[in-house]
Amino acid sequence: MIITREILEEKEHINLRAYAIKNSGSKGRKYYQEKDPYRLDFQRDRDRVIHSMAFRRLKDKTQVFVSHYGDHYRNRLSHTLEVAGFSRDLARNLGVNEDLAETIALAHDLGHTPFGHAGEEKLDTIMRKFRLRFEHNEQSKRIVSILEKRYPDFPGLNLSYEVLDGISKHSTSYDQMDTDIKYGLSIEAGIVNICDEITYLSHDVDDAIRSGVLSISEFACMDIFKESNMGTVYEQYMGDEKYFIRCINNVTKMMMQDCYKQTLSNINQLGIKTVEDVYNTKQSIVSLSKEMEDLVTPLRDVLYNKFYFSDKVRKQSKRGQKIVEFLFNLYISHPTSEMESSSEPLHIVVKDYIAGMTDAFALKIFND
């Protein structure tokens, strides 16, 4: 028997919680399209994101280190895939929509500039001169809604409303520093937000040690790593990198399990029964416990203060910002023929073009 979309939708109603967003309950797409006979709408959205040009460019965009810095450091694509994996797992454990959570995760960083958050901050500073802002989550939504050109009948990818909503409401403690989007969003979108943070807290420790910016001892003294050890052998092997990577994995597992338990507790305490309850709740639903937050805070502080703002990272960040500013001024004063023919204001076109660049392409144009 062939498993059709109708059968898959029926399975969702049987297997997913009442407060999960189901494909049959989606608000649909901006531009009407016939349903796929064998795929659910959110599956279809996931495939569209993966096949987009913006998704492919993530492999050459900075996570912390510029893409050419070393082969084994995370880039924006590997980070995205890690977030998608965690999001899918947590959504499955909570009985909500895995496909929706995975799709939001895969799309959440499409709008990131070259040179990571440093490039984003510089482009935001530039856009403020035009009384606008630049935030990569809004740029991600703009990419999938307008800028990707893969279909003759409509601009963008024509993703479902729930995916677009999750992208635009993406936020972690590092993203959107002057906003606080913690409620008024689906549980699936909330899962992506927290899995993004769990992911970078985990893999940035690995990259910080691998790069030599920080040592194992600077993390090993933290309570969260002491609690992650595998019995009494911790002290004996504390300086062993392979063993410490195992400790990082254990920390990740601790945060994921804590999030699962705390989120279920939140759902019960808040009386969440339906999707409407989720959107109307004025408190965080998907979260870590207070005890886990207390353990995570020192780790977050060390990464912010000693890694992201270390001399090695700041040096490449400053160069990246210099390149972004140079390229913006270059194209404002010498736009390409395609830029001049656009119906959009020039500063918007230039912003879109630079935000879409990979590290390597931006460096090439700058050097040329």
CA distances for 298 relative to 52, 201, 241, 345, angstroms: 38, 11, 21, 44
Mean pLDDT, the chain, integer: 90
Q: For residue 224, which of 196, 190, 208, 201 has the smallest C-alpha distance?
A: 201
Are the CB atoms for 244 and 238 separated by under 8 Å?
Answer: yes
List the one residue out of 228, 54, 260, 231 whose CA is nearest residue 139.
Answer: 54
Specify whether the CB–CB gap between 351 and 127 falls below 8 A.
Answer: yes
The predicted structure's pLDDT at residue 172: 59
DSSP 36: P
Q: What is the pTM of this model?
A: 0.93
Q: Is 222 helix (H, G, I), strand (E, B) or coil?
A: coil
Confidence class for position 178, pLDDT limits 50, 70, 90: very low
List, for residues 282-334, the tens digit of each pLDDT value.
999 999 999 999 999 999 999 999 988 888 888 888 999 999 999 999 999 99
Structure confidence by residue, pLDDT tens digits, 121-163: 999 999 999 999 999 999 999 999 999 999 999 999 999 999 9
* C-alpha–C-alpha distance, residues 101 and 109, integer Å: 14
Cβ contacts of 219-227, under 8 Å, gap ≥ 24: 219/244, 219/299, 219/302, 220/244, 220/247, 222/295, 222/298, 222/299, 222/302, 223/295, 223/298, 224/251, 224/254, 224/295, 224/296, 224/298, 224/299, 225/251, 227/254, 227/295
Residue 353 CA to residue 113 CA, distance in Å, equals: 10
Please, what sign has the CA dihedral across residues 205, 211, 216, 221? negative
Distance CA 265, CA 19 (A): 14
- Rounded to the nearest angstrom, the gap between the alpha carbon of residue 321 and the centroid of all alpha carbons in its chain is 21
pLDDT digits (tens, 9 = 90+) for 67-110: 556 567 788 999 999 999 999 999 999 999 999 999 999 999 99
pLDDT, residue 141, reads 96
Mean pLDDT along residues 31-52: 96
Q: What percentage of the chain has pLDDT greater than the value 70?
A: 91
Residue among 204, 199, 198, 237 at smallest CA distance from 220? 237
Q: Which amino acid is at 48?
A: R
Neighbours of 319 (CB within 10 A): 15
CB 185 within 8 A of CB 162: no
Q: How confident is the model at residue 176 (pLDDT cuts 50, 70, 90)?
A: very low
Alpha helices of the chain — where are they, by DSSP H?
Answer: 5-15, 41-50, 53-57, 76-94, 98-107, 116-128, 136-142, 161-168, 187-211, 216-220, 223-226, 241-269, 275-280, 290-302, 311-333, 337-341, 346-355, 359-367
